[in-house]
Structure 1
Amino acid sequence: MKSKYSFAHASQLGNQRSCQRLNQRSKQQGLVMVFALLVLVSLTVLGIASVSSGLLQNKMAVSLQTQTLAFDAAEAAIAGVVFESEDSTVISDLVMIDPLTQARQNDALDMQNEALRCQDNESWINRRVTSGGLSIGAQHLEQGHYDTSPAIDSWSRTAYVREQACLGSSNVISGSHITCHVFVIKGCGQMEGSRSIVANSLTAAVLAPASQ
């Protein structure tokens, strides 16, 4: 009986040890699974962050390109006004009027209470620059895109501001009833489909006979 008891007791201890080993293995496997899940979640989060960062950088690059192209169009619009105002063919023509002369005939812009806005096409003198470029002996009023790929519009608003003594002028000019007529030229550029308008301004002073 004693040997049988010893054998049964040893068998019971062996079963307990086997169960303990199984429990330890199960715990180890569970920890490995949890660790693997944590690693997977971390990689997923990093992947999402990387994609989001890439999309943001791409959007910023596209926005910067749009702003640059629109600014070039605004600069071209200012250059168009200067070009036409210096065109001797337009100046000497009895029918065509250059934008500065046309603006001088309008009411002056009150810089304290008014703004020269790109969206206002009724109060000020308007010109456009298209993909056809600038032409001698022409008023640039035709419709069309400044560039077609992508489609960008280029236009200007010109306003007369005031008449003043010319700074740094000689006594000969000062005594000959010649004054400086000051104008503001605003160039505007906008890519088709974009809500934002990029603008730049130029203040120009032209020697001309005094109004009084």
Structure 2
Amino acid sequence: MIRTRILTGDAVAEALDDLARLRIAVFRDWPYLYDGDLDYERDYLRAYQSPGAVVVAAYDGARMIGASTGAPMEDHAGDFAAAFAARSEPLDQIFYCAESVLLPDYRGHGLGHAFFDGREAQARALGRRFCTFCRVVRPEDHPLHPQDYRPLDGFWRKRGYAPLPGVVAEFEWKDIGEDDPTRKPLQFWMKTL
């Protein structure tokens, strides 16, 4: 039976290894193509033990099969301040809906809604006015672009999100099959709560 749990604080710490392994497995696929590292993931995920952060985790029995992270935007100000510099929304009014990962066999059964519902509830509980997330932008003619790939734009729009023109961050990671990390653009989307 599939169930979701809201994890905060110490509960996030207890789930770090499962979440790290899940992120590495799911982000190997398009569009991330991420050649992940468990030590890096553990270090990165420690940010979600901060006050206000949340992990919405999905389980099939005891096995974590999906998760979605979120935190107050100021927890990520170093990464995103430049992208939001020209925006009128104060960072302390934005909740960052970070990554969502779900194993392929469990997609299409409503867990994406549960992930957004949990993070948006956390944003409202913190008194935030906006939720945002970013998605990696890859060229359509990328050699690893799967022919059957369906972007999630329609799902996000139905939930009330829209792309923010010109609000793009860049992050660096190593793609599978590459020797060195490269920078990738990530387009922000936002919703007013």
* TM superposition score normalised by structure 2: 0.23
Q: Which has the larger radius of gyration?
A: 1
After TM superposition, the score normalised by the length of structure 1 is 0.22
Structure with greater proportional strand content: 2
